[in-house]
Structure 1
């Protein structure tokens, strides 16, 4: 069968297993038409995840579906973040370092740890989640060992705790993007404890914001509002405040607003966004202090996101058209810009404009591929776009859907 096409191989093994096209399609969760097109070679079959699913149903090794020496070309989610990589992060987050009972491993030099934490944050904000997911397990081991080893002088103690807290924070941000909300909460909870050891109220405030995001993910949006609002109140500037302070304060208000929108509390959303607007005016420009990217532009993005959470896609679109300056938007990290395109895709889908929603997903994919292909919410939006599209979707949208592993 060396020269037999993939579709013919599927048909051969389906026959060997005495499966009709309909029964085979049912077990795959596909349509009979999809199976027929695959077997006739009308539809390409080159996604690694789908080949594995087919091989699993047929109870054969995946290589039996391919010509000798040929390897499937992994595109879509499996080529970005593999399940084994997420599991490695989970194991790292669930591991306890009992240095009081066991000897601590030798830590890397502190400047190496410092660079690793900066690199992880930068990769995350560029939307390079595959890079971050592969770095997190080692990063957590390194910062844990560093905090145990570098206990003098006092300044070094504070810095190692600060780096330790940041490492757990970026881990929380990452796994939340991947839809692993329980893990996001575990990481944020660890980061909160460590941040208090660092003695930095801004780091503690930053952690509270990310913990609020994790709480939303596990269905505790009211608790998220309470946590972020409490932290923002504690950090409220009494007078002139330096940019880092305003950035974390504003970040907390934005997270509280999104949480309030999740439970449909439009009055609280308005009040929180208003307070964030005052902080953004004092800050003037969008800066990335404490990795927040807080400022007037990011505020407008969160106004649109809150409108979408409240179910008002038309309002979100108006905010984008009226308040988001394209030139200023271009200065924000790629993750923020791609996330905004995902917000717009949701808004257009709510407004019944599948074409514009698909275009927004395409643009988001160009800005930060992983933000669209790795996030469950993006998969949901793409499913909505395909269902709302009359006839065949435009080729670029159809291709992206296939790469995301989203069927029509």
Structure 2
């Protein structure tokens, strides 16, 4: 975007923030006509005070509006910045499988090297090291795409499988960090690649990534339908097909469908889907991480609590935590992202029943388990803001300190 006029950059980022010209003008204290002229280049934007005000409203570094790269952050906890978003977007918009017909594709890594990189990326995600992951994603995407476009014979399916996983990792991380449209694009790409990989379970995992992205975009019914539809297609019959892999993917599809139903306020569907997932978890026999799902009896209870929060039943979520989750050894064995995510859900539950100190304590515990899961997620910022706003007097020191680290004002 460096070559674009500044007005076009303003229009681009306004569109990314889903603001109409009128809403943007109102927040800026200008007329819609003024905004339109700036974006079309009819009116010059030459006052730095206005430029920085625009950047503040659009929630980005003013250097981006000037066509310059903002100062890159180097600490290990940073979440994602505009430069990283654009690099990931650029990698997602590559079509190596098409361009390889006309131009030479860069030398890709070997299948063994790619498999090692993908495994490391999954662990980076499940340890909630989002800053590290987002900086690695552009190269990982390009390498996986290059390998997929050049592999042939028996290697083609393996290369497609690895690319599908990279798209899923990207979708999951982008959704966590609030880049929902890119998360949907990456998940959709993963579904297409899964067909070439000839792996219905990979397609199933891609499906619930799509469902997650749709839910984040506010399309709960579509998320419910896509998860349940694919779950029905791969439902184990009870014979040889009831493998641990299939049970794990099937169970997670049902749980993601339950989350979508909860968002819609459909308590009956939530109950039916969770019960179906519970049967799959019982048949699985224990907690596992097959197909990177972390599915099992413990993760089932985490989703039961999360669904209760979505339904506005905070007390039920808290009771599920105290009676079913904290007593399980399996909870301590879960990877940090899962445990910290649950603490965020628990904080929401405590906030719903007015136990604000305990809500803040849950956020602090989640931060201890996996800081990026709390400090980087928009929903965590909303919860912390809610806790601070409703707390009488000064909040306890650990909560106030975490709020400061998160950049949430007291």
**TM-score, normalization by structure 1:** 0.81
1:223 aligns with 2:222: yes
Q: 1:2-28 CA deviation, whole Å, 9 max, x = no partner?
A: xxxxxxxxxxxxxxxxxxxxxxxxx99
Q: 1:154-180 CA deviation, whole Å, 9 max, x = no partner?
A: 2x1111010010000100000000011
The CA RMSD measured in Å over matched residues stands at 2.6
1:124 aligns with 2:118: no
1:301 alignment partner in structure 2: 302
Instruction: Map residues 344-359 of structure 1 onto 2, 5 A cutoff.
Output: 344-359=346-361
How far, CA to CA, are the matches of 2:329 and 2:184 in structure 1? 35
2:167 alignment partner in structure 1: 168
How far, CA to CA, are the matches of 1:370 and 1:81 in structure 2? 11
Q: 1:8-54 CA deviation, whole Å, 9 max, x = no partner?
A: xxxxxxxxxxxxxxxxxxx99xxxxxxxxxxxxxxxxxxxxxxxx9x
1:360 aligns with 2:362: yes
1:205 alignment partner in structure 2: 204
| Residue 78 to residue 200, structure 1, CA distance change in 2 (3 Å) | closer
Equivalent position SS for 1:239: coil
Instruction: Map residues 163-312 of structure 1 onto 2, 5 A cutoff.
Output: 163-240=162-239, 241-312=242-313
How far, CA to CA, are the matches of 2:268 and 2:228 in structure 1? 14
Residue 105 of structure 1 and its aligned partner are, at CA, apart by 1.1
How far, CA to CA, are the matches of 2:82 and 2:402 in structure 1? 21
1:151 alignment partner in structure 2: 152
Determine which structure has more spread, i.e. the larger CA radius of gyration.
1
The 8 Å contact of residues 76 and 373 in structure 1, kept in 2 or not, is answered as no
- Range with greater deviation from structure 2 (329-338 or 102-111): 102-111
Q: 1:192-251 CA deviation, whole Å, 9 max, x = no partner?
A: 000010000100001001100001111211011000001100111001411111000001
Any stretches of 5+ residues in structure 2 without a counterpart? Answer: 1-26, 29-48, 56-60, 62-70
| Residue 177 to residue 77, structure 1, CA distance change in 2 (3 Å) | farther
Equivalent position SS for 1:330: helix
Residue 326 of structure 1 and its aligned partner are, at CA, apart by 4.4
1:375 alignment partner in structure 2: 377
How far, CA to CA, are the matches of 1:310 and 1:79 in structure 2? 32
Residue 75 of structure 1 and its aligned partner are, at CA, apart by 11
1:393 alignment partner in structure 2: 395
Residue 56 of structure 1 and its aligned partner are, at CA, apart by 4.8
Instruction: Map residues 60-75 of structure 1 onto 2, 5 A cutoff.
Output: none
- Range with greater deviation from structure 2 (89-98 or 120-129): 89-98
The 8 Å contact of residues 77 and 130 in structure 2, kept in 1 or not, is answered as no
The 8 Å contact of residues 76 and 405 in structure 1, kept in 2 or not, is answered as no
Residue 78 of structure 1 and its aligned partner are, at CA, apart by 7.9
Q: 1:241-264 CA deviation, whole Å, 9 max, x = no partner?
A: 111110000010000000110111
The 8 Å contact of residues 76 and 132 in structure 2, kept in 1 or not, is answered as no
How far, CA to CA, are the matches of 1:297 and 1:169 in structure 2? 23
How far, CA to CA, are the matches of 2:367 and 2:210 in structure 1? 27
Q: 1:135-165 CA deviation, whole Å, 9 max, x = no partner?
A: 110011111111122212x2x1111010010
1:93 alignment partner in structure 2: 92
How far, CA to CA, are the matches of 2:365 and 2:161 in structure 1? 36
The 8 Å contact of residues 251 and 292 in structure 1, kept in 2 or not, is answered as yes
The 8 Å contact of residues 76 and 403 in structure 1, kept in 2 or not, is answered as no
Higher relative contact order (Cα pairs below 8 Å, separated by 6+ residues)? 1
1:336 alignment partner in structure 2: 338
How far, CA to CA, are the matches of 1:248 and 1:270 in structure 2? 19
2:24 alignment partner in structure 1: none
1:314 aligns with 2:315: yes
Residue 188 of structure 1 and its aligned partner are, at CA, apart by 0.5
The 8 Å contact of residues 76 and 404 in structure 1, kept in 2 or not, is answered as no
